[in-house]
Amino acid sequence: MFDSVENVIKQLGEQGYICDKRIATVVFLAQQLDKPVLVEGPAGVGKTELAKVVSQALGREMIRLQCYEGLDEAKALYEWEYSKQLLYTQILKDKVSETIGDSQSLTEAAERVGQEDSVFFSNRFIVPRPLMQAISSPKPTLLLIDEVDKSDPEFEAFLLEILSDFQVTIPEIGTIQAQTQPLVFLTSNDAREMSDALKRRCLHLWIDYPNEELEVKILDSKVPNIADQLAEDLVSLMHKIRDLDLKKAPSISETLDWARSLMALNAESLDEAIASDTLNVILKYEGDVAKAQNELSKMLEQRAAAKKTEVETPEPASPAEKKKGILH
């Protein structure tokens, strides 16, 4: 249980998730008000990870529903296990024959089989899918409805129903009401605009790329052995690359991948050769790599020019300036 916004920041930090007050406030309110959170933002900024760390911090099991085009109620809520029903019918064949044995007509036989419906339409033959698992769980859970923008609008309408009632009605069995309301996180990459009705039911959280200070902290948390200088240079270059007009801007996950790659190559700082050799770790389109390469060369030229001026007009450098890396 989170008892304050600061406590959210602290507890998520212990799980390796670095967040600012804005994110922590939404998480805190979601818990206090029992409201779902709709998390939107570009790919790789930590939307899914946020749900995971909240579930760990609260000690709740996370139940995940991965959305995709064509996802329907049967895959999200529950399905009848037809093969098992069929198997039972086969095994109980003799009993079924006994039941309908002396029927005078087909209608009467069907009527008698119908009276035994509950044998074949019971909990025994239900396959619970994520929404039902979250609703029927006796313990409080965290339900992650991931990439909801990939599902169809009809499915979104169905989700609205679930999110307002937290109950499922199975015509053959009855209504199952959640014993403890799950904490719900929905994530979206903005593939399509979510409906106003869904937004109204949720607290809205937009996660953008972090500022440099926060990203260095994330890097320190996820790649603990990284040298300070390398972390700062890398994040600084990453921010400059994000400002370029790219087909796919690199995200936090790419920053982490890049840092891990550079460490695997034993790099202590970011020089031009190693940076350009590894740009493909963070950029997935050739055109983007060329643009970043250009930017990198420009930055290095500026640095060389700045150094030249420094040599021509030497001034006693402060320790802070001495510490600055190639990209400043």
Q: What is the binding site for ligand ATP (CB under 6 A)? A: 16-19, 43-49, 187, 189, 218, 221-222, 252-253, 256
Q: Which is nearer to Mg ion, 48 or 280 (CB)?
A: 48
CB of 36 to Mg ion, least distance (A): 16
Give the x/- contact pattern for Mg ion in 20-59, rule: CB under 5 A: ----------------------------x-----------
How far the first Cα of the chain sits from its last, in Å, is 43
Q: Which is nearer to ligand ATP, 16 or 153 (CB)?
A: 16
Q: Which is nearer to ligand ATP, 25 or 48 (CB)?
A: 48
CA angle 280, 238, 12 (to 5 degrees): 110
CB-closest chain residue to ligand ATP: 46
Nearest residue to 152 (alpha-carbon basis) of 201, 191, 189 = 191
Query: Judged by CB under 5 A, how many residues of this single chain contact Mg ion?
Result: 1
Report yes or no: 163 and 36 within 8 Å, Cβ to Cβ.
yes
| Residue 66 is a binding residue for Mg ion (CB under 5 A) | no
Q: Which is nearer to Mg ion, 31 or 48 (CB)?
A: 48
CB of 12 to ligand ATP, least distance (A): 8
Q: How far apart are CA 252 and CA 209, in angstroms?
A: 7
Nearest residue to 324 (alpha-carbon basis) of 226, 233, 217 = 233
**Can you read off the two tokens belonging to residue 197?**
């009705």
CB of 138 to Mg ion, least distance (A): 28
Total Cβ atoms within 10 A of residue 324: 15
**Coil, strand or helix at 110:** helix
Q: How far apart are CA 79 and CA 151, in angstroms?
A: 19
CB of 122 to Mg ion, least distance (A): 37
Residue 146 parent element (H or E):
strand 141-146
**Coil, strand or helix at 80:** strand
Q: Which does 155 bind (CB under 5 to 8 A by kind): ligand ATP, Mg ion, none?
A: none
CB of 51 to Mg ion, least distance (A): 9
CB of 71 to Mg ion, least distance (A): 16
Summarize as ranges the residues that interact with Mg ion (CB under 5 A). Answer: 48
